[in-house]
Structure 1
Amino acid sequence: MLKNLCCCCLCYCLILFLPVHGQHKRTLQLLTRGPLKSIRGLCVLTDSLLWASGTGGMVGKSTNGGRQWQWMQVPGCDSCDWRAINAFNAQEAVVVNAGEPAHIFRTQDGGATWQQVYYNDTKGIFFDDMDFRTSQEGWAIGDPLQEHFMLLHTQNGGRQWDTAPLQQRPPALKGEAIFAASASNLHLLPNGDAWFITGGDTARSIRYRQGRWEASALPVTQGAPSRGAFSMAVRNPMQAIVVGGDYQADTLRQRNCLLTTNGGSTWQQPAVPPRGYRSSVAWINNNTVFATGTSGTDISTDGGRHWQPLSNEGFHVVQAAQKGKAVFLAGSNGRIAQISMP
């Protein structure tokens, strides 16, 4: 059922102006509030074209940089929480929900109709993220079943999904899980690697390289279901930033951010960390990084080594345009915002 709701309603420009190197100011501007309680799925293709997904089975699309939105509810899925969305253009997109039963739906006509391409009602099924290496090859990953992380593959743009055999899925430790907080903890790299992060009782960096899975400990806050690594931004096969913490104590700054320059073999903490729990992190260029979470939004202009406040307004997810310069955020109460870039 397609709902055309023009939500250019309120461009509240407010939130904070932050000088960067004394030359530029970046502004966080609230663009709209969509008709849903929470948005955690975001896919920004260009400065103009972006998709969002969240609670109530709702999916949104904007073709003019977030000023107006077309909101649609996937039929029969009003209780689905679409935690991840991958779009290929203005017509084609794929969504996956968190929780059971698991659904993956795909549209090829801009959201006018949706086709169910995967369904699983196994007890305990819970998908957390989805990523595409190309327009055809994609993976979806979920919490452990049979002591191994759930893993799906597609080779035709999400039209069909196959479950990886148990022996090809990475084993999980007791109490280990993946957080479906911002659909940014699984990354398929151009060189054929896959990389994801975990949390809970144990936090790890897990990487598929040359046909085998390799895991290493992440020195991030962990040891409880609310703690761990929540989001990873990968700049290249060697350089990445992880953020997380404890969402039940979202202002604690200890061990909530990690940096690697050697592909995850070792991790370092920043000299000045973000101001608390962060559920999403995104590279903008070689030096600029944004991180956001329920207690606020931060910026680093030196590759994640030092962080400073951008706004006390917090979101679930931040993402930069795949082609372009725009940076968007989305979060609770259907909020969608943009960060102005110099």
Structure 2
Amino acid sequence: MTKSISVLFLLSCLFSGTTVQAQHIELLTSGTETSLRGLSVVNDAVIWVSGSKGKVGRSMDGGKTWIWTTVPGYEQRDFRDIEAFDEKTAVIIAIAEPANILKTTDGGKTWKTVFTDTTKGMFLDAMDFIDNKRGIVVGDPIDGKVYLATTDDGGSSWKKFTATTLPAMEGEGFFAASGTNIRYQKNGLFTIVSGGKVARLLDPQRTVTLDIIQGREMTGPNSIAINGNHAVIVAGDYDNQPDTTGNCLLSTDGMKTWHAPVTGPRAYRSCVAYITPEQLITCGVPGVDISIDGGNNWKLISPDGYHVCQKAKKGKAVYLAGGKGRIGKLVW
């Protein structure tokens, strides 16, 4: 009896070890002279990315081949976020001044400027869509107020958000690290995480100070992922990326309260995404971690740097994008 239990235990350990080893990032492409921070995964096959030097990439076969374009007139601009709806239609935001939002309906062959703001200090950081029509974009504070603009026609037109005024605190900003610091909830409300001298969670109904790394210009939350009543925030110090101090928070009660994980991500992290309610992925320049227990414990699976990660809107595939045109796929 004892011998049988020992054998079963050994087999269980071997199986668990094999499972962990099998979780890795498959490199799909790299080497282009662009830093990719925008990523939108329509389904398991259709992927869009955007980045520096006016570059936009599109794949329609799960990342096996890519079509790269440089948007005319934006060769020196940086597209920090992209939202794609199918293989033909996508919206991108450009930093910094002037703030521009562009849209394509022909697979990136041509782009139309659908929004421009020439206000001094403009810097659009991220956007999110709740469906194929309604979207929102957040920018760094202007005149002491959080900058927001919304669309209800799939990004074809935008207007400044004026229904609620969100005052910004001194030294507060929104990191354009992965385009994921703003998220829609299922109830139609949006949630934003800020960083810098202060770190807060903001929505039209409340503001909450977060017990997470903050206090310096390049510290604080970069990304939030929401799944029902569960949510995860990842953060870090961009100027001291190995530091793990206060780099992750979890909520299990609709973001009413927050707590730190038992074992946090290994370093600075710029993006986090749910794969399933229990499985998550987070990435940053120092590497990639996964969690299989709702974010309570994280395990490093790759030392390679990526800025952004995302699960397919319709599908199961998980892709990542980062510096030097690096695009990867999570393999379980």
Residue in 2 that maps onto 1:258 = 249
Alignment match of 2:186 (pick from 160, 184, 190): 190
Residue in 2 that maps onto 1:93 = 90
Residue in 2 that maps onto 1:108 = 105
Alignment match of 1:278 (pick from 269, 278, 294): 269
| AA matched with 2:59 | S
Q: How far is the alpha carbon of 1:23 from its aligned partner?
A: 5.2
Give the number of the structure whose alpha-carbon radius of gyration is greater: 2
Q: Distance in 2 between matches of 1:197 and 1:124?
A: 20
The answer to whether the Cα contact below 8 Å between 2:34 and 2:55 also exists between their aligned partners in 1 is: no
Q: How far is the alpha carbon of 1:21 from its aligned partner?
A: 3.5
The answer to whether the Cα contact below 8 Å between 1:216 and 1:265 also exists between their aligned partners in 2 is: no
Q: How far is the alpha carbon of 1:28 from its aligned partner?
A: 1.0
For residues 204-239 of structure 1, the C-alpha deviation after alignment (integer angstroms, 9 at most, x for no partner) is 01123xxxx301011110001110001111111x21
The answer to whether the Cα contact below 8 Å between 1:205 and 1:264 also exists between their aligned partners in 2 is: no
The SS at the match of 1:56 is: coil
The 5-angstrom pairing of residues 1-342 of structure 1 reads: 21-22=16-17, 24=19, 25-33=22-30, 35-165=32-162, 168-208=164-204, 213-236=205-228, 238-341=229-332
| AA matched with 1:54 | G
Q: Distance in 2 between matches of 1:266 and 1:27?
A: 32
The answer to whether the Cα contact below 8 Å between 1:82 and 1:96 also exists between their aligned partners in 2 is: yes
The SS at the match of 1:264 is: coil
Q: Distance in 2 between matches of 1:46 and 1:128?
A: 24
Root-mean-square deviation over aligned CA pairs: 1.3
| AA matched with 2:47 | L
| AA matched with 2:287 | G
Identical counterparts, % of pairs: 41
Q: Distance in 1 between matches of 2:33 and 2:101?
A: 19
Residue in 2 that maps onto 1:4 = none
| AA matched with 1:218 | L
Q: TM-score, normalised by structure 2?
A: 0.93
For residues 42-70 of structure 1, the C-alpha deviation after alignment (integer angstroms, 9 at most, x for no partner) is 00111110100000111110000011000
Q: Distance in 2 between matches of 1:204 and 1:229?
A: 8
Residue in 1 that maps onto 2:7 = none
The answer to whether the Cα contact below 8 Å between 1:118 and 1:161 also exists between their aligned partners in 2 is: yes
| AA matched with 1:226 | M
| AA matched with 2:322 | G
The answer to whether the Cα contact below 8 Å between 1:151 and 1:169 also exists between their aligned partners in 2 is: no
| AA matched with 1:92 | T
Q: How far is the alpha carbon of 1:190 from its aligned partner?
A: 2.2
Q: Which has more helix, going by share of residues?
A: 2
Q: Distance in 1 between matches of 2:294 and 2:161?
A: 35
Aligned length: 317
For residues 266-287 of structure 1, the C-alpha deviation after alignment (integer angstroms, 9 at most, x for no partner) is 1100011111110011110121
CA 1:204–1:168: 2 relative to 1, 3 Å: same
| AA matched with 1:217 | T
Q: Distance in 2 between matches of 1:216 and 1:263?
A: 13
The SS at the match of 2:323 is: coil
The answer to whether the Cα contact below 8 Å between 2:281 and 2:290 also exists between their aligned partners in 1 is: yes
| AA matched with 2:193 | I
Q: Distance in 2 between matches of 1:308 and 1:181?
A: 22
Q: Distance in 1 between matches of 2:36 and 2:92?
A: 13
Residue in 2 that maps onto 1:9 = none
Q: Distance in 2 between matches of 1:203 and 1:267?
A: 13
Runs of 4+ residues over 3 Å off in structure 1: 19-23
The SS at the match of 2:148 is: strand
Q: Distance in 1 between matches of 2:296 and 2:114?
A: 42
Residue in 1 that maps onto 2:5 = none
Q: How far is the alpha carbon of 1:169 from its aligned partner?
A: 3.0
The answer to whether the Cα contact below 8 Å between 1:98 and 1:180 also exists between their aligned partners in 2 is: no
**Which sections of structure 2, spanning at least 5 residues, go unmatched?**
1-13
Residue in 2 that maps onto 1:10 = none
CA 1:115–1:201: 2 relative to 1, 3 Å: same
Q: How far is the alpha carbon of 1:253 from its aligned partner?
A: 1.1
